[in-house]
Structures are given as structure tokens and as C-alpha cells.
Amino acid sequence: MVTTNYHPIIKSFVISFLYVGIGTLSLISLYPQSGFYTPISWGGLLLTFPVTIYSFGIMYTESNSLDKILNTQLVVFLCFWSIIYVLILLKKSNNHKIRPTEPNKQNRNHMV
């Protein structure tokens, strides 16, 4: 019987979706013509700088590039999701490793 644990997949998806989503909304809200426009969106960009830097460059160079920004953020989301998933699996596997115990005094004398 094969059992799979979907908890790391769901957890990594939620973390990635929220982090990249905040960054995407912050990017979209930088446009003054946007319905989401707010002057405090710079805080969201600073918070999510690693995942918004490419899309910010696209936005800075081209004026009406909402479709390119969303496509770039989709690719960034998928990459970020896979990275977070691997990190969660590594953390989970490191927590379940059996750590060697300290040798007792009798064995320590024979090692010297």
C-alpha cells in the first residue's frame, strides 16, 4: 500500500501563492491607471523583492505590459513553489534522521 503525504505540497503552494501574490498585487497597484492603485504598494515590493525584481524591470521598461508581468509572475510562482517544496522536504527529512548518541565512557577509553 502506497501512502502519499500531500501536506508539504499544500503548505508550499500556500506559502508561494501568498508571497508571490502580494508581490504581483504590489506591482499591479503601481500603475496610476490601475484600479488597484495605492501609494503604499512600495512596501509590498520591498517585502517581496526577490520575486518581483524581473517583473518590475519589465514594468519599468514597457508602459502597458500587464500581460507580460502576469506571465513572468506565473513562471516565478512555479519556480518559487518548487524551491519551497524542496526546502520543506529537506527540513522534514533532516528532522527525522537518527542522530548518533555520544559513546559511553567505556568505549571512549578504548578509542584513545
The reply to whether 12 falls in a domain is yes
Domain that holds residue 82: 7-111
The reply to whether 100 falls in a domain is yes
The per-residue pLDDT for 1 is 47
Task: State pTM to two decimals.
Answer: 0.75
The per-residue pLDDT for 70 is 93
The reply to whether 17 falls in a domain is yes
**Rounded to an integer, what distance in angstroms lies between the CA atom of residue 99 and that of residue 95?**
10
The per-residue pLDDT for 111 is 54
The reply to whether 36 falls in a domain is yes
Residues 6 or more apart whose Cβ sits within 8 Å of residue 37: 29, 30, 31
3 state SS for 20-69 = HHHHHHHHHCCCCCCCCCCCCHHHHHHHCHHHHHHHHHHHHHCCCCHHHH
The per-residue pLDDT for 6 is 78
The reply to whether 1 falls in a domain is no
The per-residue pLDDT for 37 is 82
The reply to whether 2 falls in a domain is no
Question: In one letter, which amino acid is 35?
Answer: G
97: which DSSP letter? S
Count up the domains in the chain and report the number: 1
What are the 10-residue block averages of pLDDT along the chain, 112 residues in total? 72 95 91 80 90 91 86 96 94 71 56 52
The per-residue pLDDT for 68 is 92
